[in-house]
Amino acid sequence: MRQPLVAGNWKMNGSTASVRELLAGVNAGLAGVAKCEVAVCPPYLYIPQVQAELSGTAAAWGGQNLSNQLSGAFTGEIAASMLLDFGCTYVIVGHSERRTLYGEDDALVAAKFAVARAAGLKPILCVGETLSEREQGVTEAVIARQLDAVIAVEGVAALAAGVIAYEPVWAIGTGKTATPEQAQEVHAFIRGRIAALDVGVAEGLRILYGGSMKPDNAVQLMAKPDIDGGLIGGAALVAKDFLGICQAAHASL
């Protein structure tokens, strides 16, 4: 049985005041969603505040990105060791916004996955196709390429140290969620591809869905056998909505 994970990706949103209010709301609801692992990924600057406010609770936190380098003359970058220094458990790698807006290619994403894992962080590896790729019928080829880039560098066993998030690019921040059937089809493809290399890794691996997940569509998504939680953008900024999704994951077990 895989414990579901619901992770909030706050992106570039927040202030000290809004973080305090959001975390107070999330904290108040954690006891009611105990079967779901809960994590939040704030902008770097708010990680110390999140650490202070979530330490001693059941929730974890993480970064939205990290450097592929360990330390040194890399202006503006944040190292895995720094995330660990502030208590991070998770780090998102390969989010589609990083891939498309900041030119992160499969090789860089694989390098970031490797650095995160070697440091003891749990990478949340994002994969997903654009709308035009879906329309061209190459969804599986795109996901396979993104997965294989990490497996080529790290080996399949390394995937067990992290989590995969299937995030169709056309569903992120658009209000257009993949149907539970569309999402399940891709999740099953991901698990099957990994199972062809290592059944044990595939069976234990958590595969999250991300893309306009909200409390009202989360129940049906979480009911699918290969959907093990969610990576949540917009709804993670509203405590009631985020907790509603965590509740769906909690109840799905």
Contact residues toward ligand PEP (CB under 6 A) are 9, 167, 172-173, 210-213, 231-235
HSE toward the beta carbon, residue 237, CA cutoff 13 A: 13
In whole angstroms, how close is the CB of 15 to ligand PEP at the nearest point? Answer: 19
Q: Which is nearer to ligand PEP, 178 or 201 (CB)?
A: 178
Structure tokens given for 38: 């809960």
Alpha helices in the chain (DSSP H): 16-29, 47-54, 80-85, 96-101, 106-119, 131-135, 139-154, 180-195, 199-204, 215-222, 239-251
Q: Which is nearer to ligand PEP, 46 or 201 (CB)?
A: 46
Q: Which is nearer to ligand PEP, 156 or 186 (CB)?
A: 186
Structure tokens given for 78: 């944040």
In whole angstroms, how close is the CB of 241 to ligand PEP at the nearest point? Answer: 10
**Pick the catalytic residue: 129, 167, 187, 250?**
167
**Pick the catalytic residue: 95, 104, 129, 250?**
95
User: Which position's Cβ is nearest ligand PEP?
Assistant: 233
In whole angstroms, how close is the CB of 177 to ligand PEP at the nearest point? Answer: 8
Answer yes or no: are the C-beta atoms of 125 and 166 closer than 8 Å: no
Cβ-in-10-Å burial (0-12, 13-18, 19+) of 251 comes to middle
Residue 217, CA distances (Å) to 165, 176, 178, 249 in order? 17, 11, 10, 11
In whole angstroms, how close is the CB of 139 to ligand PEP at the nearest point? Answer: 17
Active-site residue flag, 187: no
In angstroms, the CA 179 to CA 159 distance is 26
Q: Which is nearer to ligand PEP, 10 or 201 (CB)?
A: 10
Q: Which is nearer to ligand PEP, 229 or 233 (CB)?
A: 233
In whole angstroms, how close is the CB of 27 to ligand PEP at the nearest point? Answer: 21
Active-site residue flag, 167: yes
In angstroms, the CA 238 to CA 220 distance is 21
Q: Which residues are catalytic?
A: 95, 167
